[in-house]
Chains A and B, each alone.
Chain A
Amino acid sequence: MFNISDYKATPLGSILTRGQEEQEKLLEASFSVPKNIKTILTSAKTASFIHGLAKNFRLSEKVSPIIAFAILQITLAEKTIAQLPSMLSTELKLPNDQAQKMAKEIEEDLFAPVIQELEVFWTKQKEEEPAQKATERANQGGAKNVLNLKEAQRPPTPPWREEN
């Protein structure tokens, strides 16, 4: 039987706690994640790890989706791994030292086995990011006709140029 609360404790399942538009955006973003990393994002093992983490830090199991969402944001390169302690501290209202400790555990137990693959993915994301963000920002600002020349296909060369 499908267990929703366990699914919400997985990083991908944690998007259920967000609005419809954000859910779609994050789901779309998760498609570009490599297979091995995506398994971590959806696995029941990750949910158990997050539940255990919450229990160790004497937090309610209800905060699991919050931790899972922080992990998702880092995986999708929306936030950096250095930002994890401050995110946990703010979202879970944890003391700074506790948040640091929790972030370290996540880094070592969850990200470490796939860190090389993750770094490749993050680098790739960063390369694509500025162009994407420029278009997104322009569109959010109300502009509807901004053309990203970096991403746009090169127009065909006119025949007289080819001759030259």
Chain B
Amino acid sequence: MLIASTPLITWAQTEVVEQIETTEKDNIRMAHETEEQLLALGCERVLITDKQTLASAKSLDWFAVIPVDANGEAVAMCSPNIVQLLKPLEPGQVLQAGGVAVAPVSTNKNSGAKPALTLSKIVQNILESIANQMLSLGKKFFTAVSWGIGPALTVSNFTSNDATLAAWPIMLGIANLGFLLALITIALLVTLRSSAGGGAKKLLPRLLIGALLINFSLIISGAIIDLSRLLMIFIVNMLGLGNLNESFFAHIQSAAGIDATSIFLTQYGSALEGWSKTGSLFIEAILMWALTIAVVIMLLTLIIRYIALLLLVIISPFAYLAFAFPGAQKIASAWWSYFMRYVLFGPIVLLLIAIAVMAAGGLSPSFFPKTYNGVLAYAFLRVAIFITGFIFAATVGRSAGIAGSSMILNTASRTGKKARSLAYRSTAPARNVVKDAGRGLGEGARSRIPRRIRPIKRDKNGVPLKGQRRPIAQSLGSGLVGGKYDRKQKREANEAKKRFTPTGSTPAARTASVKGNTAWNPSKLKTAHVGESISQDNRKTIMSTGSPEQKTALAGNAEAVRKMGSSEKDFILNLDVNLPTSPSDPDRDSNKKENSINRDIQKAFHSAVSKLDKENG
């Protein structure tokens, strides 16, 4: 007969301890004796639900002794005297958790022989105790973590969170400053007539829309998150899972089947002795921890989602700023992509978890043999379904979120384009009125601006008219934004820019002089920096008196073509490519050569135009 004073002995006994420990923790003892044996000693059977009797027994300093065959319903209440009677233990029979032999083991009163405490038994008892501790810890951990899944899924305070309420206004303020910068950048682009980021025509409407929407960034983010929460509630109701915060935990617990599996394993494993028992305890502990790890992974993923969404909501003003800022649209689309990904992650993961929970919960033990191995197989399968479902939900949920977000963003982009084109068409008359009024106003205002400040006059093709001084803005602008090319390229560009007058009395001599100008070397004339800087007069000189290589190089330079006016374009396209080449013609050979050169020039020009067209999209 024995009573073990503190350590856990069987899984069923731990179940009983957990049920009564909140009120009677100090007075609990676990015995290796059956209930019948304890009652025979004078203990009384008290139901666990009978809290009043338990409390009164405690007030008398009675002990709640849990028999080895505890069924989870009752304990034996023993007086201190009985416990005292049981205490003088016969040495060397049972090992406590700390490895100290304190209790006799023998329950066979007929047997006179007392089993010896062998090294094997000592090790076995230590391992059993470790397994029991692992099991108990795993169960507690699983309970705590699985309780967190529901709240982590339903967490809603993204916009009303203290962190958001404190940080979002700061971000909004900074982003509003950024709008000022964006406005200045657009003004510079307009002054320098640059088309970077799509030009002012594209950027100004974006700036206005961004500046308006930035103030609603929190509301817009909140509305989208709420939409996903509505979807989650719909999924939960559709699958009949009850309330996410309360009953979802119970569903997870039940699907994991910890209680049912433990009872079965204890029931069928009670016959096991020695190392088999130790092994079975370890298997239970491993299964328990596998379940716990799966739930921990899921919880961590959901916590990451929460933190990511919170941060994204806080920095949402910058997404609208990036939308308006020249060349930063990629940042805006990245924000939207991440935001939609994490928003969609919730409903998708919930659906997958629900499916996993239902699949694991639906597995019936009746399909398995009523033996220890059969129950073990059942437990394995149930845990496997549960774990696979959870890991699948955590990983696939993420990919599905990514796919869903890109689908939504693409659809939104297409719809936006259609709406824009519709709006553009429908406002054509109004735009024309505004354009005409603007032109009138502009002409009036222009005459009142000092000559050196006002923009230079251009013809209808955008080519500056001759005899004008360079405006101050342009001079300043080219000085400020001159960083596109390196020093060598700038030098080449400046050399090519210099006015060059062909010398010589004959056309051949003049061509030779142009050909001899190293700044207009064909290889240099093909480069973007030279093409961009070479003046209209110099282009005309090259096209009229340059060598064939120089002409082809210049006509094929997209940057030079971009600057060409209609007269230059017409000159190139009207070069004669059909000079007479009949055998009777005296200039047959030179005409043939000329035709070939002119065709090459026109082909080069066409490929440059084609390149420009591709750039413009």
Contacts and interface: CB of A to CB of B under 8 A. Distances in A.
B574 A1 contact: no
A1 B564 CA distance: 5
A23 B609 contact: no
A21 to B, nearest CB: 13
Using C-beta atoms within 8 Å of the partner chain, give the interface range for chain A.
20 to 34
Contacts of B599: 31
A38 B562 contact: no
B578 A1 contact: no
B564 A2 contact: yes
A60 B425 CA distance: 9
B576 A35 contact: yes
A38 B573 contact: yes
Contacts of A60: 425
Interface in A1-23: 1-4, 7-8, 12-13, 15-16, 23
Contacts of B603: 27
Contacts of B565: 1-2
A12 B573 contact: yes
A7 B609 contact: yes
A8 B569 CA distance: 13
A14 B106 CA distance: 104
Contact of B578 (A13, A23, A35): A35
Interface string A13-57: 101100000010001000110110011001110000000000000
B570 interface: yes
A155 to B, nearest CB: 19
Contacts of A32: 578
B355 to A, nearest CB: 49
A60 to B, nearest CB: 8
Among A1, A38, A42, chain B packs the most CB atoms within 10 A around the CB of A1
A2 B574 contact: no
A125 to B, nearest CB: 14
A70 B183 CA distance: 44
Nearest to B577: A31
B462 A1 contact: yes
Nearest to A1: B462
B578 A3 contact: no
Interface string A57-94: 00010000000000000000000000000000000000
Nearest to B616: A4
B609 A1 contact: no
A42 B567 CA distance: 11
A44 B609 contact: no
B211 to A, nearest CB: 30
A50 to B, nearest CB: 15
A13 B609 contact: yes
B560 to A, nearest CB: 9
Contacts of A42: 569-570, 573-574
B613 A16 contact: yes
B574 A27 contact: no
A13 B602 CA distance: 12
A31 B598 CA distance: 10
Q: Which of B564, B566, B610 has the most CB of A within 10 A?
A: B566
11 contacts: A2-B561, A2-B563, A4-B613, A16-B613, A27-B606, A31-B599, A35-B576, A35-B578, A39-B570, A42-B570, A43-B570
Interface of B: 425, 458, 461-463, 561-566, 569-570, 573-574, 576-578, 599, 602-603, 606, 609-610, 612-613, 616
* Cβ-closest 8 pairs across A and B: A1-B462, A42-B573, A31-B577, A2-B564, A16-B613, A44-B566, A4-B613, A2-B562
Interface of A: 1-4, 7-8, 12-13, 15-16, 23, 27, 31-32, 34-35, 38-39, 42-44, 60
